[in-house]
């Protein structure tokens, strides 16, 4: 068992009422002579259409709770980024806790870091291993464990328990193999699971596109490479050189590069008849039912995230773990993000977005949207870096992924008629 304890700043992060609630007049006014002049009220934040409703449905919370969750995530994310940088090698992971993400938990290996964590407005937790120490342990398991079932089907770092987790249908056999390869079992948790992720092949998410006569996949986010427009999608959808058609079966473009397995990403160059738009469909009908994309800042674990897919539409949930390895029937894929969001066949390649920040493209998963499921997505940063692509913001600028947290993205639309 890991040695750990938590320290918090009391109820500093507890939210008992929406921050959208109007403050008393006395708190919003200043006195000028004998007159009381009201201060201008800050307009309430506007969330992308469909996000609040989808969170309400998929997380089984009220509309007020969904709005409070989004406000908390926006308020606490910059705090998490600053603390992650300050803690350096001591950083043990971070996550949102609570129904409305009212608590940001930041873990460290050094108790001396707790005062600055609390002062920043987060809850501090002391853990045995830093995140940097867990990464090579997971990498060793990825390299040494055999294929399912004995080697498990999913492996990830769980910062909440400060261990590398292996999901396996035969835990006793998997543990025996892990001990034999010399990994410290105190740093690993083998959990029984019948989960067998599969790519959501022959599918679409967001807007559909087609490869050949029968294969259908999903547009993720629009990109540019020099003067060439295109979009990113899942790598298992097609190989380099394969020709694609759009939603109306008109000529669209061709796959330029594709990676699968090991990773699951590709990019397609489109012809001049197709115009990129900085939006993701939210499952509604018509051109107005879209969510704008403003950047690609990675969301904190525990943050809300939504997925657009042609089979199951607009679905939302929370980010569970990053740097996850999944053993598909076609081979192992590493570096995926695990999310508690349902998906089904027909949703591959579609957009994962957190409020207005692109997160990645749908790879595969298990379960369905009737009984619930888990979905894995390929982070957008990896795709941009691997292929030298640029994402375009709604403002029209286009920082490269090396520029940091907020390069924007967009998605192709139907061709002009």
DSSP for 362-391 reads: EEEEEEETTTEEEEEEEEHHHHHHHHT-EE
> Could you confirm whether 236 is annotated as catalytic?
yes
Over 50: is that where the pLDDT of 33 sits? Answer: no
Task: Give dist(CA 234, CA 336) in Å, integer.
Answer: 12
9 has a pLDDT exceeding 70 = no
* Rounded-to-integer distance, Cα 12 and Cα 75, Å: 13
Query: What would the mean pLDDT of 85-100 be, rounded to a whole number?
Result: 98
Pairing of strands 123-126, 265-270: unpaired
Q: For residue 290, which of 417, 414, 415, 201 has the smallest C-alpha distance?
A: 414
Fold exhibited by the domain 5-19+47-126? GMP Synthetase; Chain A, domain 3 (3.30.300)
For residues 343 and 200, the answer to whether their CB atoms sit within 8 Å is yes
Of 19-23, 54-58, 80-84, 235-239, the range with the lowest mean pLDDT is 19-23
Report which of residues 290 and 367 the model is more confident about: 367
Residues 373, 365 contacting (CB under 8 angstroms)? yes
DSSP three-state, residue 32: strand
pLDDT band for position 90 (cuts 50, 70, 90): very high
Instruction: Read off the pLDDT of each residue in 349-367 and give the average, rounded to a whole number.
Output: 95
| Residues 6 or more apart whose Cβ sits within 8 Å of residue 210 | 216, 217, 244, 245, 246, 249
- What does pLDDT average to over the chain? 83
Q: Identify the pLDDT of residue 248.
A: 81
Give the pLDDT mean for 353-367. 95
Known catalytic residue: 233? no
pLDDT confidence of 16, banded at 50, 70, 90?
very low
Measured between alpha carbons, how far is 36 from 74 in angstroms, rounded to an integer? Answer: 33
Q: Please compute the mean of the pLDDT values over residues 181-202 and round it to a whole number.
A: 86
* pLDDT tens-digit readout, 39-60: 556 566 678 778 999 999 999 9
Mean pLDDT of 387-392: 90
State residue 289's pLDDT score: 66
Measure CA 264 to chain center.
Answer: 15
Which residue is catalytic, options 233, 348, 354, 366? 348
Residue 115 has pLDDT above 80, yes or no: yes
Mean pLDDT of 23-38: 39
pLDDT given for residue 38 in this prediction? 56
Domain 131-192 = CATH 3.30.300.50: yes
For the segment 256-260, the average pLDDT, to the nearest whole number, is 98
pLDDT at residue 6, rounded to an integer:
55
Of the chain, the percentage scoring pLDDT greater than 70 comes to: 81
Query: Which position among 58, 158, 264, 356 bears the catalytic label?
Result: 264
Q: Name the range with the highest mean pLDDT among 18-32, 147-161, 206-220, 392-406.
A: 147-161
Which pTM value belongs to this model? 0.81
- Predicted pLDDT at 160: 97
Q: Which range (142-146, 186-190, 330-334, 397-401) has the least confidence?
A: 397-401
Among candidate residues 236, 258, 282, 294, the one labeled active-site is: 236
Confirm whether 131-192 and 197-417 share one CATH topology.
no
> What residues contact residue 146 under an 8 Å CB cut-off, 6+ apart?
177
Kindly tell me if the per-residue pLDDT of 214 is higher than 70.
Answer: yes
* Region of residue 192 (phi > 0: left; psi between -120 and 50: alpha; otherwise: beta): beta
* pLDDT above 50: residue 400: no
**For residues 272 and 4, which has the higher predicted lDDT (pLDDT)?**
272
The pLDDT value given to residue 285: 47
- Which structure tokens are listed for 254? 């061709």
Q: Residue 352 in 3-state DSSP?
A: strand
Q: What's the residue count for the chain?
A: 417
CA quadruple 252, 254, 255, 256: dihedral sign = negative
CA distance 332 to 188: 20
pLDDT at 410: 28
Under the banding of pLDDT at 50, 70 and 90, the label for residue 273 is confident
- Please report which confidence band the pLDDT of residue 18 belongs to, taking 50, 70 and 90 as the band edges: very low
Per the DSSP assignment, residues forming a β-bridge with 295 are 357
Domain 197-417: top CATH class:
mainly beta
**Annotated catalytic, 264?**
yes
Is pLDDT at 110 greater than 80 in this prediction? yes
Top-confidence residue, 133 or 205: 133
- Domains of the chain, residue spans: 5-19+47-126, 131-192, 197-417
């Amino acid at each position: 068992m890991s040695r750990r304890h938590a320290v918090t700043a009391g109820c500093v992060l507890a939210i008992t009422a929406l921050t959208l609630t109007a403050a008393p007049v006395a708190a919003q006014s200043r006195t000028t002579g004998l007159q009381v002049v009201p201060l201008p009220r800050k307009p309430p934040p506007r969330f992308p259409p469909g996000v609040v409703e989808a969170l309400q449905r998929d997380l089984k919370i009220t509309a007020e709770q969904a709005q409070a969750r989004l406000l908390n995530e926006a308020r606490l994310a910059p705090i998490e980024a600053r603390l992650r940088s300050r803690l350096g090698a001591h950083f043990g992971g971070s996550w949102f806790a609570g129904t409305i993400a009212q608590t940001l938990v930041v873990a460290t290996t050094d108790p001396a870091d707790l005062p600055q964590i609390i002062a920043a407005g987060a809850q501090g937790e002391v853990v045995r291993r830093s995140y940097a120490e867990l990464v090579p342990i997971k990498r060793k398991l990825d390299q040494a464990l055999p294929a399912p079932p004995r080697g498990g089907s999913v492996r990830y770092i769980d910062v909440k328990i400060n261990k590398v987790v292996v999901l396996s249908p035969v835990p006793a056999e998997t543990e025996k193999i892990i001990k034999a390869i010399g990994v410290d079992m105190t740093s690993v948790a083998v959990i029984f699971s019948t989960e067998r992720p599969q790519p959501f092949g022959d599918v679409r998410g967001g807007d559909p596109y087609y490869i050949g006569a029968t294969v259908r996949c999903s547009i993720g986010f629009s990109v540019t490479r020099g003067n060439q427009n295109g979009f990113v999608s899942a790598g298992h959808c097609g190989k380099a050189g394969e020709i694609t058609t759009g939603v109306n079966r008109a000529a669209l473009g061709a796959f330029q590069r594709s990676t699968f397995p090991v990773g699951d990403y590709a990019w397609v160059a489109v012809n001049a008849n197709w115009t990129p738009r900085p939006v993701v469909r939210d499952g509604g009908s018509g051109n107005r039912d879209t969510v704008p994309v403003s950047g690609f800042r990675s969301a904190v674990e525990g943050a809300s995230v939504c997925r657009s897919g042609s089979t199951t539409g607009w679905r939302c949930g929370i980010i569970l773990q990053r740097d996850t390895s999944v053993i598909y029937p076609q081979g192992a894929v590493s570096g995926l993000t695990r999310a508690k969001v349902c998906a089904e066949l027909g949703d591959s390649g579609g957009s994962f977005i957190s409020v207005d920040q692109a997160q990645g493209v749908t790879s595969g998963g298990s379960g369905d949207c009737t009984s619930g499921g888990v979905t894995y997505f390929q982070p957008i940063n990896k795709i941009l870096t691997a292929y030298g692509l640029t994402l375009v913001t709604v403002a029209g600028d286009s920082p490269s992924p090396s520029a940091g947290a907020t390069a924007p993205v967009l998605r192709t639309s139907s061709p002009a008629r």
